[in-house]
Amino acid sequence: MKSTCSRPGALLTALVFALSPALAQQPPAASPSATAAANPAAKTFSQQDLDRLLAPIALYPDALLAQILMASTYPLEVVEAARWSKANPKVTGKALEDAMAKQSWDPAERALTSVPQVLQQMNDNLDWMQKLGDAFLRQQQDVM
């Protein structure tokens, strides 16, 4: 009897569970009002701008989306992680976990190394990633 679980579905489920521990380790983000108060001249994004920024990642699972949003606030680390992933494509599973334990990156970047195509997308679109991070930091409620 064939299983009703599809391979992509199983992969997606595994990804969500793999990223969940990293989510639990995230420090609480500053509230948008605190961020805006600290920088009153900070640009806010219109709903239309936010829709455009979020469109490329809108259908990703929530756990992955959370990692992308957090990682976008550390663009230099995303570039480093993308380069590391590109240089080490065969490092997976436990070896990847061990390698990431040695990195000083934010947990979001370390978690995204298990999804190198997402890291590469972020690395290839630095302007978009920077704006996404800015929007997340300044308007977290609107982004979520």
9, two tokens: 């579905």
- Is 120 inside any structural domain? yes
Does residue 127 sit in helix, strand or coil?
helix
- Is 24 inside any structural domain? no
Asked if residue 26 lies in contact with residue 107, where contact means CB atoms within 8 angstroms, the answer is yes
Give the pLDDT score at 42.
Answer: 60
- Is 22 inside any structural domain? no
The residue range of the domain holding 72 is 45-143
Give the pLDDT score at 11.
Answer: 43
- Is 35 inside any structural domain? no
Total tally of structural domains belonging to the chain: 1
- Is 17 inside any structural domain? no
Give me the residues of the chain with pLDDT under 70, please: 1-42
